[in-house]
């Protein structure tokens, strides 16, 4: 998880979503892609939601 010194990069796309070619490029570079589904969040909210998800998944949410 993130607590062991692993670097995590979060990419937040525009309201219309990332282009298929952008997602494919990220995956070809080794990225693990996730989505919030049909939800459209403001940039500030999306960043916060991603930060909480990373902390939770890394077991560092204390």
Q: Which residues of the chain have pLDDT under 50?
A: 1
Domain ranges of the chain: 2-58
pLDDT of residue 19: 94
- Distance, in Å, from the CA atom of 25 to the CA atom of 18, rounded to the nearest integer, reads 11
In degrees, rounded to 5, the angle at the alpha carbon of residue 29 between the alpha carbons of residues 25 and 32 is: 90
pLDDT of residue 61: 67
pLDDT of residue 6: 77
């Amino acid at each position: 998880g993130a607590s062991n010194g692993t670097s995590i990069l979060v990419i937040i796309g525009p309201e219309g979503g990332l282009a298929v070619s952008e997602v494919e490029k990220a995956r070809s570079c080794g990225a693990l892609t996730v989505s919030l589904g049909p939800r459209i969040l403001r940039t500030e909210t999306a960043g916060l939601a991603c930060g909480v998800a990373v902390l939770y998944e890394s077991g560092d949410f204390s």
